[in-house]
Amino acid sequence: DAGITQSPRHKVTETGTPVTLRCHQTENHRYMYWYRQDPGHGLRLIHYSYGVKDTDKGEVSDGYSVSRSKTEDFLLTLESATSSQTSVYFCAITREVMNTEAFFGQGTRLTVV
Amino acid sequence: GDSVTQMEGPVTLSEEAFLTINCTYTATGYPSLFWYVQYPGEGLQLLLKATKADDKGSNKGFEATYRKETTSFHLEKGSVQVSDSAVYFCALSVSPNAGGTSYGKLTFGQGTILTVHP
């Protein structure tokens, strides 16, 4: 257990509304990630962070923004949710970055109607 | 760019059967290779990894060998159990140069659903 908590675990929202997902870690790891999981695509990286206020885009960042104002929290925001953003979102952390494993949260199932 | 291709699924086997899930990759730098497993309703967890060519990762009876010449990292298990039913993901992390950092970013295959019947 890497002490990762995602909230909420489930959310249904309407098209056009803003949504924020939270990832909280208890071990003060520097590197955090947001992935989305869709059938036929595996997991795809949305954004990642390599320190407080240090973030960068991943493969599928359009329509998403992130913030990391403190080590333990990494927020993912959908500024104006669309149906194509219906997905399962996973937060992950790594304890180092050289060839090491990622630890994943339980996921947030988001449905945009 | 970097990519991972897994064999088409789902895979259905009887208990004690031999399992192979194929995985091939393309990478622009120095890859490390991973197999992750996802049980129903849970996040992913690392099953095994290999960080350089010819390394063999192993865990819980599963094995995979990093083959640079064929750009492959196939997952095998000699005798599957019902409890192995899950989704299996091949993934890679690529460093731009030897000793460099990938920032821990992972590129995943599409996943293979494995169902094992008693």
Of B34, B45, B108, the CB nearest to A42: B108
Q: B102 and A40 in contact by Cβ < 8 A? A: no
Q: Which ranges of chain A have pLDDT less than 50? A: none
A50: contact with B, CB 8 A cutoff: yes
Give the pair of three-digit tokens for residue A98. Answer: 């050289």
Q: Is the preceding omega at residue A8 within 30 degrees of 0, hence cis? A: yes
pLDDT per position as a tens digit, A78-104:
999 999 999 999 999 987 666 578 999
pLDDT per position as a tens digit, B63-109:
999 999 999 999 999 999 999 999 999 999 988 766 667 778 899 99
Q: How many helices (H) and strands (E) does chain B have?
A: 0, 12
Residue A107, by phi and psi: left (phi above 0), alpha (psi -120 to 50) or beta?
left
pLDDT per position as a tens digit, B14-30:
999 999 999 999 998 88
